[in-house]
Amino acid sequence: MDQDGAPVPGVMLNFCTDAACIPRKSDANGTVSFDGAPDVYHVQLIKAPEGYGFDPDFELYTDRTYGEWLLRIRKNGDAP
């Protein structure tokens, strides 16, 4: 979601293991679903839709069990 709490569709994330990366895109509700095999994944934000920016150094690592995360994508032109 953005800094105003609105969903951001079209955000691209990579879920990576040592063997492969699996890209996923957020839907109209700004939700990214991932159903890969249980593992530790290195998650990277790789693309935001036009009009939005993100920290290219963003990353997180999942546990072997899945959870939920809330990522904020900033509208361009807005102060951090």
* Token digits of residue 71: 């990522």
In the 8-state DSSP scheme, what is residue 65?
S
The whole-model pTM stands at 0.81
Q: How far apart are CA 16 and CA 7, in angstroms?
A: 24
Confidence of residue 78 (pLDDT cuts 50, 70, 90): low
Residue 42 φ then ψ, to 5°: -90, 115
Token pair 């997180």: residue: 60
pLDDT tens profile 65-77: 777 888 888 888 6
Q: What confidence score (pLDDT) does residue 64 get?
A: 82
